[in-house]
């Protein structure tokens, strides 16, 4: 009796939860499931594939659990068999060692494939030249520099949709993490190194940006808006800032770096080599892809393609097909296995 009541209660709760998930799942608020960029979309594909693969095992296990617990419960004159010494079956155990092994092998193959495909420092394949945005996490605000445009913003970025964005990221404060969920996954911002993250927005829109890694008192305020617009709107926005905003000086940066929260700000110019100086002031490790030099070169206005050369090399070694790297479909992966 006790058990039956319990089961009923549990079923009620579970169905309520499922309904809640379905209802909220439909809304736009679940932004990770509603990506607006190629990277985020592929990451969503991956989430769906891995969830489906897991459910192949999980659902039968859950059903089996309820079935066994129900069928073999102790009750007077029950019909189900009682076999107290049955403790081993090579056949059965082989089956349930192999089921998870098979699932994990499939999942592992897909994961490895996507890990190289979606490596955040890998430039996106796209006809448009990437826009560079240099990101610095400060206590407790985000500074964004546009080396090619010569402007800077705080807690707000704008960029054209359908143009790859190449984020170069560092920190002049405890480490944080730069995350625009609708465009794609996050990457840490750490002092003394320049990380890279390549994202793209497929359509114009205003996206939530988060500082995802705890970095002290006002860390919760490190949120920003990432706005994707048309190229024309973006150009107009840059011109507007150049025309009306104050310049960012060295002293201005020192002021900005003082711990505290900040409103949205914009600057019409940036001190030469500021990003590079922030990276190297801690002794400047050249992390992974050696983007330190890259940052300097951008600032001097040279072609960013050159700076990318070092990044591309490891990707080429993996024999990735760069031609359709960004648009690979699931079938492509399956064939590979």
Partner 1 sequence: MLDKIKDFASEFFVTGDPLIYGADVSIGLTIIAVVSALTFFKKWNWLWKEWLTTVDHKKIGIMYVIASLLMLFRGGVDALLMRTQLAIPDSEFLSPEHYNQIFTTHGVIMILFMAMPLMFGLFNLVIPLQIGARDVAYPFLNSLSFWLFFFGAMLFNMSFVIGGSPDAGWLAYPPLSELSHSPGVGQDFYIWGIQISGIGSLMTGINFIVTILKMRAPGMKLMKMPMFTWSVLSSCLTIILAFPILTVTLALLFIDRYLGAHFFTLDGGGNPMMYINLIWMWGHPEVYIVVLPAFGIFSEIVATFSKKRLFGYKSMVFALMSISAFSFFTWAHHFFTMGSGASVNAFFALTTMIIAIPTGVKVFNWLFTMFRGQITFQTPMLWTIGFIPCFVVGGMTGVLLSVAPADFQFHNSYFLIAHFHQVLIGGVAFGYFAGLYYWWPKVFGFKLNEKIGKWAFWTWNIGFYVCFMPQYILGLMGMTRRVSSYGWDKGWWELNLVSTIGGFLMGIGFLFQVWQILHSIKFMERDTTGDPWGGRTLEWSIPSPAPVYNFATLPHADEKDPWWEEKLRLAAGGTPKPQPSLEPIHMPKNSGIPFVMSSFFFVAGFGFVFDWLWLAIPGLIGVAACMLVHSFRYKTDYYIPVDEIKRTEAAARRVV
Residues between 102 and 141 with contacts to partner 1, criterion CB under 8 A: 104, 107-108, 110-112, 114-121
Instruction: Kindly tell me which residue out of 190, 274, 295, 307 binds partner 1, with binding defined by CB under 8 A.
Output: 190
What is the 8-class DSSP label of residue 224?
E
112-151 burial, b for 16+ CB within 10 Å, e for fewer? ebbeebbebbbbbeeeeebbbbbbbbbbbbbbbbbbbbbb
Does 264 interact with partner 1 (rule: CB under 8 A)?
Answer: no
Q: Order the strands of the 141-146 sheet from edge to edge.
A: 195-199, 165-171, 131-138, 141-146, 151-154, 265-267
CB of 253 to partner 1, least distance (A): 17
- Tell me: does residue 328 bind partner 1 (CB under 8 A): no
Stretch that binds partner 1, among 129-137, 149-157, 181-189, 246-254 (CB under 8 A): 181-189
Can residue 195 be called a binding residue for partner 1 (CB under 8 A)?
Answer: yes
Please, what sign has the CA dihedral across residues 189, 30, 206, 114?
A: positive
Q: Which of 212, 226, 238, 326 binds partner 1 (CB under 8 A)?
A: 212
280 counts as binding partner 1 under rule CB under 8 A: no
Which of 267, 126, 133, 141 lies closest to 194 in space, CA to CA?
Answer: 133
> Judged by CB under 8 A, does residue 232 bind partner 1?
no
Closest to partner 1 by CB, 149 vs 172, is 172
Beta carbon of residue 66, minimum distance to partner 1 (angstroms, whole number):
8
For partner 1, give the closer residue by CB, 179 or 234: 179
40, 179 Cβ separation under 8 angstroms: no
- Using CB under 8 A, which of 19, 26, 101, 264 touches partner 1? 101
Residue span binding partner 1 (CB under 8 A) among the ranges 43-51, 146-154, 228-236, 323-331: 43-51
Residue (149 or 291) nearer to partner 1, CB: 291
Q: Is 219 in the site for partner 1 (CB under 8 A)?
A: yes
Q: Which residues contact 193 (CB under 8 A, 6 or more apart)?
A: 170, 279, 284, 285, 286, 287, 288, 292
The dihedral built from the CA positions of residue 213, 219, 220 and 221, taken in this order, carries a sign that is negative
Candidates 205, 210, 265, 325: give the one binding partner 1 (CB under 8 A). Answer: 210
Q: How many residues does the chain have?
A: 337
Q: Does 156 bind partner 1 (CB under 8 A)?
A: no
- CB-wise, 119 or 297, nearer to partner 1? 119
φ and ψ of 336, to 5 deg: -65, -30
Work out whether 80 is an interface residue with partner 1 (CB under 8 A). yes
Task: Kindly give, in sequence order, each residue whose CB lies less than 8 Å from that of residue 144, ignoring residues fewer than 6 positions away.
Answer: 133, 134, 135, 136, 152, 153, 154, 156, 157
């Amino acid at each position: 009796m006790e058990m039956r009541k319990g089961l009923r209660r549990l079923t009620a709760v579970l169905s309520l939860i499922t309904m809640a998930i379905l209802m909220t799942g439909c809304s736009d608020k679940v932004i990770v499931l509603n990506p607006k960029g190629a990277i985020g979309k592929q990451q969503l594909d991956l989430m769906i594939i891995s969830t489906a693969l897991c459910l192949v095992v999980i659902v039968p296990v859950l059903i089996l659990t309820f079935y066994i617990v129900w069928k073999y419960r102790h009750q007077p004159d029950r019909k189900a068999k009682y076999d107290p010494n049955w403790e081993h079956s090579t056949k059965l155990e082989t089956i349930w060692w192999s089921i998870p092994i098979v699932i994990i092998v499939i999942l592992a193959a897909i994961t490895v494939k996507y890990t190289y495909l979606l490596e955040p420092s890998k430039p996106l394949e796209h006809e448009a030249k990437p826009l560079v945005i240099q990101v610095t996490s400060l206590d407790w605000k985000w500074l964004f520099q546009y080396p090619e445009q010569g402007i800077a913003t705080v807690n707000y970025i704008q960029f054209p949709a359908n143009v790859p964005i190449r984020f170069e990221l560092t920190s002049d404060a405890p480490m944080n993490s730069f995350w625009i969920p609708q465009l794609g996954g996050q990457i840490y911002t750490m002092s003394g190194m320049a990380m890279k993250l390549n994202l793209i927005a497929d359509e114009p829109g205003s996206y939530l940006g988060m500082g995802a890694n705890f970095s002290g008192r006002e860390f919760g305020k490190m949120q920003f808006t990432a706005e994707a617009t048309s190229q024309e709107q973006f150009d107009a926005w840059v011109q507007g800032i150049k025309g009306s905003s104050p310049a960012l000086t060295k002293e201005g940066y020192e002021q900005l770096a003082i711990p505290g929260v900040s409103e949205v700000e914009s600057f019409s110019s940036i001190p030469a080599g500021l990003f590079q100086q922030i990276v190297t002031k801690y002794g400047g490790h050249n992390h992974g892809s050696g983007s330190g030099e890259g940052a300097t070169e951008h600032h001097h206005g040279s072609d960013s393609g050159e700076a990318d050369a070092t990044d591309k090399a490891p990707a080429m070694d993996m024999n990735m097909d760069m031609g359709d790297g960004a648009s690979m479909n699931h079938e492509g992966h399956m064939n590979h296995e």
